[in-house]
Amino acid sequence: MQISIVKSLKKFYRMLLLEQKPLQDMYKDALKSFPDECCGFFFGKEIGRERIVTDILAVNNSKEGDKRRRFEIASRDYLNAERFADENELELLGVYHSHPNHPAVPSEHDRVAAQPYFSYIIISAKENEIADIRSWQLNEKFQFEEESIEHQSINQNK
């Protein structure tokens, strides 16, 4: 099993292209959930080494206890995300979540919970504003490497 996971990591994506609507929807989710972490899935297409994000699916942070420092996605929400991708002829590209009042850098908890192949968008949110957005993907040593993000600037406070 370990060998097949490592082989799948060879297709490492280096660029995430975020369309304006999914980017704005992620920002809204992060601001609405503040001071708790938001979470959800993002979808789109893969072309070469680029992932084009066209849609998101926000989900409830199902973490018991302190949602300000952790998020959890219920298994039914993951199944719904797979169904959404199939029904809309999209690929499930990854997971996004926010870090309220913290940098958009993955924690050790984020790394341990991550899966190969997915991209992980982290949004640094402060009260009423987005401070930063970054994306990460596990490398062949199961450590996060940053992916480039390209997006249009939008008004974050809408």
pLDDT digits (tens, 9 = 90+) for 40-90: 999 999 998 899 999 999 999 999 989 999 999 999 999 999 999 999 999
pLDDT confidence of residue 156: 47
Q: Write the single-letter amino acid at 64.
A: E
Cα distance between residue 122 and residue 15, in whole Å = 15
pLDDT confidence of residue 3: 38
Residue 7 has pLDDT above 50, yes or no: no
Buried b (16+ CB within 10 A) or exposed e, 82-118: eebbeeeebbbbbbbbbbbebebebeeebeeebebbb
Region 21-41 average pLDDT: 98
- Short-list 18, 63, 20, CA closest to 42: 18
pLDDT digits (tens, 9 = 90+) for 101-135: 999 999 999 999 999 899 999 999 999 999 999 99
Domains of the chain: 13-151 (3.40.140.10)
More confident site: 153 or 132: 132
Residue 152 has pLDDT above 70, yes or no: no
pLDDT confidence of residue 27: 98
More confident site: 124 or 6: 124
pLDDT confidence of residue 14: 75
